[in-house]
């Protein structure tokens, strides 16, 4: 299931005894954990009925003791185990101490006793618990990654307890933003949600922060508008980088330097170079798609452009000759070298000189 489905059933009072969260997107993990905590500890005393453990720091025996402990003055306990990937065999290293662990019998070929003992790993012991969990405990297991062939993984998936907490696809992000704003009590249109994604980026952490700031600015219950977004995110580097590229494509030196000043207020030289290089590669991808006779929408998708910037990206790809875009990348590579010790000038001087050369159509920038 996905995180939204897990949160929905937890809030509906239909909590499962075990959830396995797999994925590196911490925002989604935290959403599910918050819903699980609220569902498990409702009506109880939180401090008496919850345990938070880290795999590798706590032994699996500690986890099993915690989940089999009866709740105190409550209906249910909550046990959370993070960093489950530390119990993967390749992460633990040597298993020389495994002989002290519980074992299971395994048939052996050509042996008179017909069986041999094999150490039972931590993840396998959790898989055995999942087969017969305690009804008075809600166990949440979290791992950034986990081998899909593991017994615990397959058992959780078969039981419907596997929650995939990976970053959503780019096309799904506006919907995620709109739902996040609605949870704050503020509706918004799809266009506004796409605008926020385009300005704040595609990582859920910055997106969640942007939504929180915008909804606080809009006020309780108010619909989020483009004016609210502009007031809160107008200095976001992703937005001004597109302005900078647009000014460069028009060879408008005044607007180029003004856009650089807006970006430079929050970004250092090397990071700005990286953002400009990424945008240039997007334009090259769009130009290549257009040469293959793709339509404007196909070119925008090939470039990975945000929906509200698709038309502008395609127009820029048509306006800027491919040879110029290739020279931009070479110029930016040399600028990167200058910023990392290849020049005695200040970073600001190096960047501004490069922007002047790009606007003038001059050749590749040379570090001093």
Report if residue 296 sits inside a domain.
yes
Distance CA 133, CA 6 (A): 18
**Which distant-in-sequence residues (6+ apart) come within 8 Å of 359 by Cβ?**
247, 248, 251, 252, 253, 256
Distance CA 276, CA 260 (A): 11
Report if residue 98 sits inside a domain.
no
Q: Are residues 291 and 228 in the same domain?
A: no
Q: Hey, what are 15's tokens? A: 């909590």
Q: Are residues 30 and 136 in the same domain?
A: yes
Residue that terminates a domain, selected from 201, 217, 233: 233
Distance CA 156, CA 126 (A): 10
**Which distant-in-sequence residues (6+ apart) come within 8 Å of 169 by Cβ?**
none
Report if residue 368 sits inside a domain.
no
User: What pLDDT score does 300 carry?
Assistant: 76
Q: Hey, what are 11's tokens? A: 């809030």
Q: Are residues 339 and 309 in the same domain?
A: yes
Q: Are residues 158 and 181 in the same domain?
A: no
User: What pLDDT score does 74 carry?
Assistant: 83
Report if residue 149 sits inside a domain.
yes
Q: Are residues 133 and 52 in the same domain?
A: yes
Domain that holds residue 23: 3-91+122-164
Report if residue 367 sits inside a domain.
no
Domain count, the chain: 3
Q: Are residues 148 and 22 in the same domain?
A: yes
Report if residue 104 sits inside a domain.
no
Q: How far is CA 179 from CA 73, 151, 211, 303, 307, in A?
A: 35, 34, 10, 27, 19
Q: Are residues 18 and 144 in the same domain?
A: yes
> Which residues sit opposite 105 in a β-bridge?
117
Distance CA 67, CA 132 (A): 12
Q: Are residues 198 and 159 in the same domain?
A: no
Report if residue 301 sits inside a domain.
yes
Q: Are residues 77 and 148 in the same domain?
A: yes
Report, in angstroms and rounded to the nearest whole number, the Rg of the chain calculated over CA atoms: 27
User: What pLDDT score does 366 carry?
Assistant: 42
Distance CA 347, CA 339 (A): 6
Averaged pLDDT in 10-residue chunks for the chain of 368 residues: 90 91 87 90 80 89 92 88 83 44 49 51 89 92 87 90 87 89 91 84 82 90 88 61 76 78 61 80 87 77 69 81 87 86 81 84 46
Q: Are residues 7 and 152 in the same domain?
A: yes
User: What pLDDT score does 104 carry?
Assistant: 53
Residue that terminates a domain, selected from 130, 147, 164: 164
Whether 279 and 246 have beta carbons less than 8 Å apart is answered as no
User: What pLDDT score does 141 carry?
Assistant: 93
Q: Are residues 69 and 155 in the same domain?
A: yes
Cβ atoms within 10 Å, residue 71: 19
User: What pLDDT score does 352 carry?
Assistant: 85
Give the HSE-up count for residue 207: Cα atoms under 13 Å, Cβ half-sphere.
28
Report if residue 105 sits inside a domain.
no
Q: Is the dihedral of CA 131, 132, 135, 137 positive or negative?
A: negative
Residue that terminates a domain, selected from 145, 164, 183: 164
Give the HSE-up count for residue 217: Cα atoms under 13 Å, Cβ half-sphere.
16
Q: Are residues 184 and 255 in the same domain?
A: no
**CATH number of the domain encompassing residue 66:** 3.40.50.300
């Amino acid at each position: 299931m996905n995180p939204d489905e897990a949160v929905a059933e937890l809030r509906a009072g239909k909590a499962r005894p075990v959830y396995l969260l797999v994925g590196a997107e911490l925002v989604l993990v935290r959403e599910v954990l918050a819903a699980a905590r609220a569902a498990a500890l409702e009506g109880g005393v939180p401090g008496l009925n919850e345990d938070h453990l880290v795999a590798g720091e706590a032994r699996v025996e500690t986890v099993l003791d915690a989940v089999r402990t009866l709740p105190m003055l409550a209906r249910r306990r909550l046990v959370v185990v993070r960093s489950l990937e530390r119990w993967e065999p390749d992460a633990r290293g040597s298993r020389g101490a495994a002989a002290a662990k519980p074992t299971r019998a395994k048939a052996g070929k050509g042996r008179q006793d017909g069986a041999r003992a094999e150490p039972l790993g931590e993840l396998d012991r959790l898989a055995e618990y999942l087969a017969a969990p305690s009804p008075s405990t809600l166990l949440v297991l979290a791992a950034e990654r986990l081998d899909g062939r593991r017994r615990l993984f397959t058992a959780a998936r078969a039981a419907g307890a596997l929650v995939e907490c990976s970053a959503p696809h780019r096309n799904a992000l506006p919907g995620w933003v709109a739902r996040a704003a609605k949870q704050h009590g503020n509706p918004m249109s799809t266009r506004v949600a796409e605008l926020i994604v385009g300005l704040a980026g595609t990582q859920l952490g910055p997106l969640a922060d942007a939504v929180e700031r915008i909804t606080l600015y809009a006020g309780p219950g108010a619909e989020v508008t483009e004016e609210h977004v502009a007031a809160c995110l107008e200095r976001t580097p992703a937005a001004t980088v597109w302005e900078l590229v647009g000014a460069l494509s028009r060879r408008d030196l005044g607007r180029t330097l003004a856009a650089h000043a807006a970006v430079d207020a929050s970004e250092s030289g090397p990071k700005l170079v990286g953002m400009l290089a990424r945008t240039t590669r997007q334009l090259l991808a769009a130009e290549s798609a257009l040469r293959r006779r793709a339509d404007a929408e196909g070119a925008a998708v090939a470039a990975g452009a945000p929906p509200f910037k698709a038309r502008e990206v395609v127009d820029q790809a048509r306006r800027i000759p491919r040879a110029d875009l290739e020279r931009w990348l070479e110029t930016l590579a040399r600028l990167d070298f200058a910023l990392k010790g290849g020049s005695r000038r200040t970073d600001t001087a190096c960047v501004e000189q490069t922007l002047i050369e790009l606007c003038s159509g001059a050749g590749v920038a040379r570090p001093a």
